[in-house]
Amino acid sequence: LQKSLNETFGADKYSEARKEVLTNMFSRPMQMALYFCTGVLEDETLFRHYALNVPFYTHFTSPIRRYADIIVHRLLSASLGASSPIKMEKEAIQKQADHCNDRKMASKRVQELSADLFFAVFVRVRG
């Protein structure tokens, strides 16, 4: 898709803006990643990463950013024997994952509404 976009748009002063707008529109409908506890899901096909085409996948970033990443770091550390085992039941971990998903979706919705609002203001001011 990205290669097609790059080839389709010319080199005029608006080509980069058109490409950015369409890339944003194409990526919006993609399913958001969800946090979940593997111990509560019996269907292992749900662990799959569609875009990377791998059957098992986990992702985390620096634990200074998101609570979900802190949980993943703690669980990974415990599973590798680098720290003591986590004293949480899998249902409690799933409850935390659900809460993180809810907050992430609410944040994304606010971000989208904010972008829509500022775009509408921009169009109104610019005509």
Q: HEC states along 3-20?
A: HHHHHHCCCCCCHHHHHH
pLDDT score recorded for residue 1: 63
Question: Within this chain, do residues 121 and 64 fall inside the same structural domain, yes or no?
Answer: yes
Q: What is the pTM of this model?
A: 0.65
Question: Within this chain, do residues 38 and 21 fall inside the same structural domain, yes or no?
Answer: no
Question: Within this chain, do residues 20 and 46 fall inside the same structural domain, yes or no?
Answer: no
Burial 36-65 (b: 16+ CB within 10 A, else e): bbeeeeeeeeeeeeeeeeeeeeeebeeeee
Question: Number of folded domains in the chain?
Answer: 2
pLDDT score recorded for residue 3: 74
pLDDT < 50: residue spans in the chain: none
Question: Within this chain, do residues 35 and 13 fall inside the same structural domain, yes or no?
Answer: no
pLDDT score recorded for residue 31: 67
Locus of tokens 């803006």: 17
pLDDT of 4-40, one tens digit each?
767 777 777 777 777 777 777 776 656 677 888 888 8
Domain containing 109 equals 31-126
Question: Within this chain, do residues 35 and 5 fall inside the same structural domain, yes or no?
Answer: no
Question: Within this chain, do residues 39 and 97 fall inside the same structural domain, yes or no?
Answer: yes
Question: Within this chain, do residues 26 and 37 fall inside the same structural domain, yes or no?
Answer: no
Question: Within this chain, do residues 89 and 67 fall inside the same structural domain, yes or no?
Answer: yes
DSSP structural state of residue 31: P
